Structure 1
Amino acid sequence: MKTSFKWKKVTAKAGYSAKTVMYVMLGVFILTSVLNTLNREKASQSNVFITLKQQPLGQIFLCILVIGLACYALWRWLQIFIEDKSEDDSLFIHIINKLFFFVSGAFYFAAAYAGGKTLLEIQSSSSSRGNSKEVSEYLLQYEWGLMVVAAIGVCILIFAVVQFKHAYTTDFLEKFSLSSLSQRIKKCVTVTGRLGYTARGVIYSLVGGFFILAALLSNPSEAGGLQKALETLMKQPFGPYIIAAVGVGFIMFGLYCALEAKYRKVE
């Protein structure tokens, strides 16, 4: 039992540490893109991996990051089986939580796979926006594809609402043993968590909207990921400032993940 717990704890901590690196680097790229007249090509997951690989000992660091992302995916899938139903949650909410663990695990496994391809120099010309377009383009070939693309958009929007909920209610604090934390650490967890979840909520709201718009217009080019979200924000009043705020939010979420790696409860 003790060995099993230790293995789960190491897996979780490795995963949250990997998320720290990925989100901090994404946030830095977003801020850099504002300073460089929004060179949006830098603000993508693939460029996180490429940039990391180009650093001294980059291949070693990228390999560690890929392993960490894979560990986080494994941890999410483990939570499907080890997380018990809360007394306050209905059966429907419990099932939704399990589904979220599965989808989250799949997302980070895909990120680990993309990092592994970069490590092995199997380069892909598709950006995150291109990948989203390819998915919607494939699905829209079929009559049922419209419903699937719309459903993907709705699911992403629901996920965005959950991010805003976390930011507003600070229910993420339940993941920590607050009684064992100092006031300074509690404050850091609260601030970084709120800012980070808000930034994620903004981006996921836009991405979900893109998929729904692609379904409504039967136009796969309307779908998009982080880069298209940044382009859309840039067109708004005070766009560069909004993007800079999102970049700071991503960095804050990365720091929040670091606090999770250090202080989160693993049961």
Structure 2
Amino acid sequence: MSDIRRHPVESLARFGYGARGVVYGLVGGLALLAAIGSGGQTGGSRSALQTLVSQPFGKVWLFLIALGLFGFCAWRILEALTDADNRGSDMKGWGVRGAHLISGVIYAGLAVSALRLALGRGSGGSGEDQAAQDWTAWLMSQPFGQWLVGLVGLVVAGTGIAFIWKAWRGNVADRLSLPSDKREWIVSLGRMGFAARGVVFLLIGGFLVLAALHSSSSQVRGLGGALEALQQQPYGWVLLALTAIGLFAFGLFGLVQARYRHIDAPDLDDAKAAVARVGR
């Protein structure tokens, strides 16, 4: 408890990485079961959380995951506003910090869904694709909306390519302080996880680009829709199984990040000042 009091932002961040890891582990595990025909599902994050409701202590787990995701949201936003990871103020640095800010908003929405499920106030299971289609339809209704949707799709697809590149040649253990005897298998987990995330982001971005080209928001898919698209391909169960294993690996990698990631978190006063500057 004393460590939490001394480093509240760092504790929030570590709790958040762990919660994100649990969500990815659930998504990957359920998708793997679906691939091998042993039940499971190819739903997204909200569908995965829904499966916890009927499990022993399921609502307690959902409440803890919700708290963790709110912590991850707070860390991502503070990370972007205070440059806690020293990304810098060049174009690349601002790009990464902007992506973290968007990530924080997305995980805030997922945290709200988990909390509603824990309180018995939402089904949370089937709305991920629909939510993506709704915001796409809204964006298309704005001036130059079709171009904006296409641009978002290209950015998402580009992020997927970056994840695949990181899995292949990048330093996935960057910012991790790993014991030497555990480094090899943790790096393997990270590479598998980033590769799977890259495939999913590439598919989601592709669906957005198609939606822009055809001016049809109904073509947009979220995480669950991307996994389902893989399953529908020739030898789809193999593609789905490999991607599911990668997502499960990224879930385990998230637990590693919760333990070993270097987090140079700002203290509460600096964090409050950064938020206040944005609010002015």
TM-score, structure 1 normalization? 0.89
**For residues 39 and 190 of structure 1, what CA distance do their matches in structure 2 show?**
28
CA contact (8 A) 1:166 1:172 kept: yes
Residue of structure 2 in register with 1:129 after alignment: 129
Map 1:94-113; keep pairs closer than 5 Å: 94-113=93-112
Residue 117 (structure 1) shift: 1.8
Map 1:55-134; keep pairs closer than 5 Å: 55-80=55-80, 81-83=82-84, 85=86, 91-124=90-123, 126-134=126-134
Map 1:1-267; keep pairs closer than 5 Å: 6-36=7-37, 40=41, 43-80=43-80, 81-83=82-84, 85=86, 91-124=90-123, 126-178=126-178, 181-183=179-181, 185-267=182-264
CA contact (8 A) 1:8 1:266 kept: no
Residue 234 (structure 1) shift: 2.2
**For residues 47 and 217 of structure 2, what CA distance do their matches in structure 1 show?**
24
Q: Deviations over 1:9-50 (max 9, x none)?
A: 21111011101210111011101212338874x522222222
Q: Quick one: structure 1 residues 126 and 233, their matched pair in 2 at CA, closer, same or farther if it must change by over 3 Å?
A: closer
Of Structure 1 and Structure 2, the greater helix share is in 1
Residue 5 (structure 1) shift: 6.3
**For residues 5 and 177 of structure 1, what CA distance do their matches in structure 2 show?**
21
Q: Deviations over 1:95-138 (max 9, x none)?
A: 11110110111111111011112222232575211111112222
Note the residue ranges of structure 2 that are not aligned, 5 or more in a row.
Answer: 265-280
CA contact (8 A) 1:33 1:43 kept: no
RMSD (CA atoms): 2.2
The one-letter code sitting in structure 1 at the alignment partner of 2:155 is C
Q: Deviations over 1:142-186 (max 9, x none)?
A: 4421122112211211211221122122323121124xx123x10
Instruction: Using the aligned pairs only, state the percent identity.
Output: 27
Q: Secondary structure at the match of 1:174?
A: coil
Stretch moving more, 126-135 or 57-66: 126-135
**For residues 24 and 84 of structure 1, what CA distance do their matches in structure 2 show?**
25
**For residues 217 and 31 of structure 1, what CA distance do their matches in structure 2 show?**
32
Q: Quick one: structure 1 residues 49 and 106, their matched pair in 2 at CA, closer, same or farther if it must change by over 3 Å?
A: same
Q: Secondary structure at the match of 2:174?
A: helix
The one-letter code sitting in structure 2 at the alignment partner of 1:74 is A
Stretch moving more, 195-204 or 47-56: 47-56
**For residues 235 and 139 of structure 1, what CA distance do their matches in structure 2 show?**
28
Q: Secondary structure at the match of 1:171?
A: coil
**For residues 25 and 126 of structure 1, what CA distance do their matches in structure 2 show?**
16
**For residues 35 and 96 of structure 2, what CA distance do their matches in structure 1 show?**
36
Q: Deviations over 1:200-251 (max 9, x none)?
A: 0001100000001000100111111123212321232221101000110011
Residue 187 (structure 1) shift: 1.0
CA contact (8 A) 2:4 2:11 kept: no
**For residues 246 and 199 of structure 1, what CA distance do their matches in structure 2 show?**
5
Note the residue ranges of structure 1 that are not aligned, 5 or more in a row.
Answer: none
Q: Quick one: structure 1 residues 133 and 4, their matched pair in 2 at CA, closer, same or farther if it must change by over 3 Å?
A: same
Residue of structure 1 in register with 2:268 after alignment: none
**For residues 126 and 256 of structure 1, what CA distance do their matches in structure 2 show?**
27
Q: Quick one: structure 1 residues 49 and 164, their matched pair in 2 at CA, closer, same or farther if it must change by over 3 Å?
A: same
Q: Quick one: structure 1 residues 3 and 223, their matched pair in 2 at CA, closer, same or farther if it must change by over 3 Å?
A: closer
The one-letter code sitting in structure 1 at the alignment partner of 2:57 is L
Size of the alignment, in residue pairs? 260
